[in-house]
Amino acid sequence: MPKISPAPADPAAPANLSSLRTQSFPLKAHNHGKAKVRVMKVVRSAEKHFAYEYSVDTTLFSPEYEKVFTAEDNSGLVATDTQKNTVYVIAKRTEANSPEQFGIDLCKHFISEYPVLTAAQAEVRMTLWERAVVDGEEHEHGWIKQSPEQAVAVVKLVREGEVFSVRSFVKGMTIFKSTQSGFADYHMDKYTLLPPCTERCLSTELTAEWGYTDIAGVDFADARAGVRAQLIKGIFGPAKGGVFSVSLQATIYDAGCLVLTEVACVSEIKIDTPNKHYLPYRQLEALGEVFEDDIFVPTDEPSGTITCTVARE
């Protein structure tokens, strides 16, 4: 058996480490944080309650923390458990009534509390609880989950220059349109099987991501409500009659333009709509029934991937 001799120890490595490595390489990137910190905040006002539920990922950045990875030195490290506790404390101390504002307040806290940090990030995902309606009246403390849609914000605060970045998201908005959609005039060749149609169902699980021209003075909940309303209008059209979609592409571009027209603080919006096909169940005919654009097979996979970004400039 040939004898394998160990590689020589790295002369630059600090002494007395318990590490197994015999050679050190550059640490190119690092950060640490806590994922999926779940918190529910209930605001009990005299007439009615408000419920805000979040799942939060925190991430802290500091070049000084290189030593934690490379030199087994934990001094000055803000533990991820501390970050978790902070989520609850900031939920208690602030209004936390939108994912954006909660994220901003969390990042501000981390940066002002810990001079060692160069930047802090919070991804805040809000569960949408809808106030229950009983006998036509909004309930004061009863809620129903609008699953699976979430309101999401990713906020980053960089200490140098106090630069904030706020990105807002709608995730999992699940949409179904039972008419006013078709798809025709596309390229046909020997690989094409899809028949053109002027009547089909349109369905998607929409993700939208947008930024702001300037976050100063923005009411984030208000802006989100505006974006959501315009997306819904762009896709469905007026309640009576709707609007015809010649493709998901044309429809989401339209919706993006409506958002930029109606919500002044939004700088640009990316809309991502996997096309979830509802396939006409034509085998009905073989079973002695008539297909009248009424019986479909819902499918998730494969889905079309239709995405666009619309910006002011």
Ligand X SMILES: O=c1[nH]c(=O)c2[nH]c(=O)[nH]c2[nH]1
User: Do residues 121 and 127 make contact, with C-beta atoms less than 8 angstroms apart?
Assistant: no
CA distance 196 to 76: 64
Give the binding site for ligand X (CB under 6 A). Answer: 183, 194, 247-249, 275, 304, 306
Q: Closest distance between ligand X and the C-beta of residue 298, in Å? A: 15
Q: Closest distance between ligand X and the C-beta of residue 245, in Å? A: 7
Decide: helix, strand or coil at residue 63. helix
- Please, which residue, 183 or 210, has the CB nearer to ligand X? 183
User: Do residues 141 and 126 make contact, with C-beta atoms less than 8 angstroms apart?
Assistant: no
CA distance 179 to 202: 8
Please say if 49 is a catalytic residue: no
Could you tell me which of 203, 208, 108 has the C-alpha nearest to residue 151? 208
- Please, which residue, 166 or 235, has the CB nearer to ligand X? 235
Q: Closest distance between ligand X and the C-beta of residue 304, in Å? A: 5
Q: Closest distance between ligand X and the C-beta of residue 175, in Å? A: 13
- Please, which residue, 65 or 183, has the CB nearer to ligand X? 183
Please say if 233 is a catalytic residue: no
Q: Which residues make beta-bridge pairs with 168?
A: 153, 210
CA distance 183 to 200: 8
Torsion of CA 172, 177, 182, 188, to 10 degrees: 30
- Please, which residue, 223 or 248, has the CB nearer to ligand X? 248
- CB atoms < 10 A from the CB of 126, how many? 23
Q: Which of 34, 84, 109, 270 is catalytic?
A: 34
Could you tell me which of 68, 67, 94, 93 has the C-alpha nearest to residue 79? 68
Please say if 207 is a catalytic residue: no
Q: Which of 32, 41, 49, 80 is catalytic?
A: 80
Angle at 220 between CA 217 and CA 225, to 5 degrees: 130
DSSP-based helix, strand, coil % in the chain, nearest 5: 25, 40, 35
State the first-to-last Cα distance of the chain, in angstroms, to the nearest integer: 69
Structure tokens at 92: 């208690």
- Please, which residue, 162 or 189, has the CB nearer to ligand X? 189
- Please, which residue, 225 or 246, has the CB nearer to ligand X? 246
Q: Closest distance between ligand X and the C-beta of residue 186, in Å? A: 7
CA distance 87 to 105: 10
- Per the listing, tokens 């140098």 go with 160
Q: Closest distance between ligand X and the C-beta of residue 252, in Å? A: 9
Cite the active site residues.
34, 80, 277
